[in-house]
Structure 1
């Protein structure tokens, strides 16, 4: 139940419960009083009978002096009293001892004749009025009043019970309300505050979960957990990016140190050895120029990697016809394979249109191809292919690789750059896309050449195009870098 509805219902119950309890107590009290009154009347009816018999005498209903009623004082007691009235309403006798003359105390007829024969049960007394007849004529009316002694004696006990019951009801009601408020509000708020304090102290509480609730507090706890998870993920991402930046700076500093030292050494040699031959000095200049070009390339790749990682950078996409563009793109590498004595296999099978950024996609392909050339042994085979989602994969692909690529290319076009050579260990297949992480070739006892940003840049270009990039490697078919591109 929603918390606001629960609070509204709780307040309504708290308001209605005392009223219901008071009504129930009053009903119980009335029922008990009526039952007790009947029991008392039955119990005391024996005492009414002789009094009624004595008062049912017409001669008593005349204006006399008290001496004419010698038996009447004996009928009265502390618990029983009575009055005698003439039909006109004049009281002729009172058990209190006062007798009135015709000009004395008079009761109005409407009051005198009210409730004749009816037993009147009051809080403290029973009252009974009856007429007295003399040869068919009304001689007078007597009224007997009997004190409810047992009832009055039990009033203090009943008062104690009522007060105790009311106090117990209040305590139970108050305790129930506090328990419900604690269960619905205080306990979840305490849990939330503990989580907030733990989160502020940097403590992890991934295993702590409150009971699933369907009210606002449950929603608040779930949203706090979601926010906490999001903040932690953001912090982890920021830490990862910070470490990545530190690693890039350290790697770049290390990579720039070698060409800088070479430039410094050859520049010093040129300046100090003026007697060197012209060809030797030109060789020094060529070395300096190559190192400068290498440094410019490294800095350019770093700039591109940083720009592709920015969320603000957008590539200017254009729509191209796939078959024409990719045949031109992949065909430019056939001459490179012939020059370096590689068997270059090219296959383009697509009829789709694509939205791409040509320059960056050319950079992606160039990085993958030069990476393949670096790892392929002499006279080895390199395969280049662009296959859309409905075309068959090239025949030169290993059947095992074809089986692995079919699920990956569902609904999209793939660009494959496959080379022969040593397989990359499975634990390094994902890490090689990280900046400045390269596959360690055991036979060379070192890392492969290059700046270490080629595959990282290629994956970021693929992501900018709405695609993805993965790497497959096996001793049976070599290594395949696969870029997945969405189709129009």
Structure 2
């Protein structure tokens, strides 16, 4: 239940419960009083009978009647009575002497009210009856009996009522406090503990199985989601910072070699004036190659940084897939013939694509040159562009079909496969990191290159809304697969 609805319902119940409890207590009190009154009347009715019999004498209903002398014997601390003439004049009262009690007049409407009806009051019973003399009304007597047992139990009943009321309010307050603690205080305390733990940098607790469905549960879930997002962002920032530090360190290390070479040859040119022209030209060519190598490394670093920026956008154009990819992959045929590689090219697509041609050419170039670097002499290299419905080429690793089919659902894949030593599975993902290259055991060194080629290729694929992965085996070599969305 939503917290606001629960609070509204709780407040309504808290307001109505005392009213309901008071009404129930009042009803029980009235019921008990009526039952007790009946029991008392039955118990004391025997004491009414002799008094009624004595008061039913018409001669008593005269002013200063000598018969009044026997009446004091009928009265007691619990029983009193009054005698009235039909005109309303009181002729006798057991509560005083004859002279002081007579002469008091009661209105007729009051005198004749509730005749024959037993009146049950809080402290007394009263009964009024007429007295007849040969068919004529001689007078009216009123007997009042004190409810002694009831009065003696008032203090006990008052104690029970007050105690019950106090117990009821204590239970009500405790229940409301427990519900508020369960609904509000405990979740707020849990949220505060999580906030303090997050501020101290502690790891969050394990997510509990019982998820609340009210506002506090939503708040806790949102805070956990925010905490997870912040931690992921922090981890990503730390990763990027370490990546930048590694790039700077690697680039500084890579630039030392050409710089030292340039410095050495420049010093040789400036100091050795006797060098022959051919030798001096050779020195200049070495300096120019090293400068070009440095420019290439800096250019790749600039491209890698630009592709990693969230603000950079590529100017996409729509192209016809078969024509563009045949032109793109066909340009590598001469390179393979020159280096004596067996290159197989396959383009199977009729889709349209939104691409950035220059960056996609850079992606393909990086993958092809990476394949050429690892392929042994006279080895085979395969290039293919296959859309989501076409069959894979025959020269591809057939074991990849089960993995590539879900990977290329609704997308076209670009495959660059080369023969050569297999890359260990634990390095297949790391080689996409900057300045991480596969170590070739037979060469006892790294394969060469700037170390940013595959990282740039993956970032270009991500900018196109795709992805890039690698598969490797001893029999078929390594396959770099780039996935591109189809229009």
Secondary structure, counterpart of 2:99 in structure 1: coil
SS of the residue aligned with 1:92? strand
Change (3 A) 1:398 1:46: closer
Q: Is the 8 A contact 1:55 1:142 kept in 2?
A: yes
For residues 153-164 of structure 1, the aligned pairs below 5 Å read: 153-164=152-163
Q: Is the 8 A contact 1:63 1:102 kept in 2?
A: no
Residue aligning to 2:42: 42
Between stretches 104-113 and 343-352, larger displacement belongs to 343-352
User: Matched residue of 2:37: which SS?
Assistant: helix
Q: Could you tell me how far 1:211 is from its partner in structure 2?
A: 2.7
Query: Judging changes above 3 Å, is the alpha-carbon distance between structure 1 residues 78 and 103 closer, same or farther for their aligned structure 2 residues?
Result: closer
Q: CA deviation at 1:344?
A: 1.3
CA apart distance, 1:340: 0.8
Structure 2 counterpart of 1:245: 244
For 2:28 and 2:253, locate their aligned partners in 1 and report how far apart those are by CA, in whole Å. Answer: 95
Judge conservation of contact 2:469–2:481 (CA < 8 Å) in 1.
yes
In 1, the alpha carbon distance for the partners of 2:352 and 2:207 equals: 51
Report matched runs for 1:317-466 at 5 Å.
Answer: 317-466=316-465
Report which stretch shifted further, 368-377 or 321-330.
Answer: 321-330
- The Cα of 1:231 is off from its aligned counterpart by 1.1
* CA drift at 1:396: 2.3
The CA deviation at 1:380 is 0.7
Contact 1:126–1:145 (8 Å) recurs in 2: yes
Mapped partners of 1:105, 1:295: distance in 2? 133
Alignment RMSD (CA, Å):
1.5
Kept in 2: contact 1:429–1:472 (CA 8 A): yes
TM-score, with normalisation over the residues of structure 1? Answer: 0.97
2:93 and 2:102 in contact (8 A); partners too: no
Decide whether aligned partners of structure 1 residues 358 and 148 sit closer, same or farther in structure 2, where only a CA change above 3 A counts. same
8 Å contact kept, 2:131–2:137:
yes
What are the within-5 Å matches in structure 2 for residues 105-254 of structure 1?
105-209=104-208, 211-254=210-253
Alignment deviations for residues 258-302 of structure 1 (CA, whole Å, 9 cap, x no partner): 111111111111111121111111111111111110010000000
Confirm or deny: 8 A CA contact 1:438 1:452 kept in the other structure: yes
Shift of 1:391: 2.0
Deviation track 1:224-253 (CA, whole Å, cap 9, x = no partner) reads: 111111111111111111111111111111
Is contact 1:92-1:100 (8 Å) kept?
no
> How far did 1:333 drift?
0.6
CA distance in 2, matches of 1:308, 1:231: 24
Alpha-carbon shift at residue 321 of structure 1 (Å): 1.2
Deviations 1:397-441 (A, max 9, x none): 232244543332222111111111101111101110111110010
C-alpha distance in structure 2 between counterparts of 1:381 and 1:135, whole Å: 146
CA distance, structure 1, for counterparts of residue 140 and residue 405 of structure 2: 117
Residue correspondences, number: 487
User: 1:60–1:420: structure 2 CA closer, same or farther, 3 Å change rule?
Assistant: same
Give distance in 2, aligned partners of 1:328 and 1:341.
21
Contact 2:59–2:65 under 8 Å retained in 1: no
Indicate how the Cα distance of structure 1 residues 284 and 375 shifts in structure 2: closer, same or farther if over 3 A, else same. Answer: same
CA contact (8 A) 2:130 2:139 kept: yes
Offset at residue 195 of structure 1 (A): 0.7
Displacement of 1:65 after TM fit? 5.7
**3-state SS in 2 of match to 1:443:** coil
**Distance apart, 1:67 and its partner CA:** 7.4
Q: Which runs of 5+ in 1 are unaligned?
A: none
3-state SS of the aligned residue for 2:382? strand
Q: 1:134-171 CA deviation, whole Å, 9 max, x = no partner? A: 00000000000011111111111111111111111111
CA distance, structure 2, for counterparts of residue 26 and residue 140 of structure 1: 39
Residues 68, 92 of structure 2: 8 Å contact kept: no
- Note the C-alpha offset of 1:351: 1.4
Aligned counterparts of 1:232 and 1:210: Cα–Cα separation in 2: 22
Encode CA deviations 1:45-70: one digit per residue, 9 max, x unaligned: 1111111111000000011167753x
* Greater displacement, 246-255 / 206-215: 206-215
CA contact (8 A) 2:92 2:102 kept: no
- Report if the CA contact (8 A) 1:91-1:100 is conserved: no
**5+ residue gaps, structure 2:** none
